[in-house]
Amino acid sequence: MTKEDLVILYEDNHLIVVLKPQMTACCPDESGDSNLFDTVKEYIRVTYNKQGNVFLGLVHRLDRPTGGVMVFAKTSKAAARLSEQMKNGGFEKKYYAVLVGSPNKKKATLENYLRKNSVNNTVYVCTQTEEGAKFAALDYEIKEEKNGLALADIKLHTGRTHQIRVQTAAINCPVYGDMRYGGEKAVKGKLALWAYSLRFTHPTTGESLKFIIEPPKDETPWKLFEI
């Protein structure tokens, strides 16, 4: 992606909030593909005629297939304060996911221990005593059901790798388009997982900020639902 593709939701001297497109990496990785982090840095460099290395703080991440709201810090002070908020649960992160099938409970909290296999970059549910086990929790509420699919509104309490995908697959309702964790219920298509709402406290003013951006309504399977 280029800086011309950038969708900016909010910007001031301390932070910048942008839309992360699906299938775009949020930061540089071994693939060498263009990514959101470098694109935002280039935007700042050109827009404000910055010389030398531009500072940009990566505060949180979204998986490559996931789209939605992301915030980056423009100063080291903002980066430290936002990272502290993130660590202490000060960020409210909400997602929409289209699930294959519908959970028995239309509203519930999922709690698991997850472990990451770094060799194949896959996460799985494990026991609390297993080495590397990390606690994961989320709340979900089913908003609508159609054609064997369910629209879930999800609030994250922890930010584990692939958390939503692994926890919904563990209740036999994998995310639409998830070929990694979907198993026999996997449906081919773009991953239907979208970070639609982000709320946090401004690192210098203390103001509560909330940003919402809806998933692409004209795309399958989002277009099936009233969002």
Is the peptide bond prior to 215 cis by the omega test (within 30 degrees of 0)? no
Using 50, 70 and 90 to split pLDDT, how confident is the model at 4?
confident
Using 50, 70 and 90 to split pLDDT, how confident is the model at 29?
confident
Per-residue pLDDT averaged across 135-143, rounded?
98
| 139 noted as active-site residue | no
Q: What is the token pair recorded at 226?
A: 């009233």
Q: Which helix (H) or strand (E) holds 197?
A: strand 193-201
- pLDDT of residue 32 exceeding 80, the answer is no
Question: What is the predicted pLDDT for the residue at 30?
Answer: 75
Q: Which of 29, 63, 153, 178 is catalytic?
A: 63
> What's the whole-model pTM score?
0.94
Contacts of 169 (CB under 8 A, 6+ apart): 175, 178, 181, 182, 183
Contacts of 29 (CB under 8 A, 6+ apart): 35
Q: Determine the Cα angle at 123 with ends 61 and 217, to 5°.
A: 50
Task: Write the pLDDT tens digit of every residue in 37-71.
Answer: 999 999 999 999 998 889 999 999 999 999 999 99
